Amino acid sequence: MDAPITTVEPEGKLAPAADRVVPINERLKPLYPDFEGLNYETPLQLLIAVILSAQCTDKRVNALTPALFARFNTAEAFAECDIKELERLVKPSGFYKNKAKNIKACCKELVARFGGTVPTQLDDLVSLAGVGRKTANVVLGHAFDKPGITVDTHCGRLARRLGLTRHKDPVKVELALCEIVPEPEWLLFSGRLIMHGRAVCRSRKPQCAKCAISDLCPKVGVKGLAAKRKRKKVNKLPVEPPA
């Protein structure tokens, strides 16, 4: 577990990270009661959809998966499919060649090692082609009700900005949050951080003035962002030609 992180703000000293997690979660809960997520009917469909969602919006993935799942509805069907047809169907998600390759390879492994069914253990899931801990935790949490923390770029950024961890490695961020977030809230808390990161606490221009958890946040690195933007603006000023 990370050492407790506190930051002195004009209002005073913030509580340690472990003491702020529950209030942060309680404030975010009514703001994001429903998760905008991926559409699926089976664990396999969720697994495929999460693979497709890398560097792609859920909305775009949801737009292409009905045709994809109508064409291929089992691990065996994906494993035996024509790769060119699969590439065509997943092309709107971007990086389609690599995603199609991973989906086909993943399903071949599902058939060969797990009888065509999606395993329910983290170690088994991350052993599959194209499946990392984030993908595995999403599948375990949503398809099998096994809590896990999903760390994407938004979750990692907010965890550091909120002073909940200093780590940049996603696995270390996940483990650090597991130490201080109540286990039943793991999936929900990380999901709320992701949505708050998209809506308010953005990477380059966090909207601290309208943030519901601003008083609970040490704003790690935010001042540096403002200074960086100021320097960038100065560097872009036109230079007068010599007289």
Residues annotated catalytic, as ranges: 134, 152
Say how many residues make up the chain.
Answer: 243
DSSP per position, 97-117: HHHHHHHHHHHHHHHHHHTTS
Encoded tokens for 110: 């599902």
- Considering all CA atoms of the chain, what is the largest pairwise distance in Å, rounded to the nearest integer? 79
* DSSP 3-state of 214: helix
Block residue for tokens 């709107």: 92
Which has the closest alpha carbon to 192: 216, 146, 168, 159?
A: 159
d(C-alpha 103, C-alpha 101), whole Å? 6
- Cα atoms in the Cβ-side hemisphere of radius 13 Å centred on 106: 29
The DSSP H or E segment spanning 9 is strand 8-9
Which of 180-200 are b and which e, b meaning 16 or more Cβ less than 10 Å from the residue's Cβ? bbeeebbbbbbbbbbbbbeeb
DSSP 204: S
User: Please, are residues 228 and 189 in contact by the beta-carbon 8 Å criterion?
Assistant: no
**Count of other CB atoms within 10 angstroms of residue 138:** 24
* DSSP 3-state of 193: helix
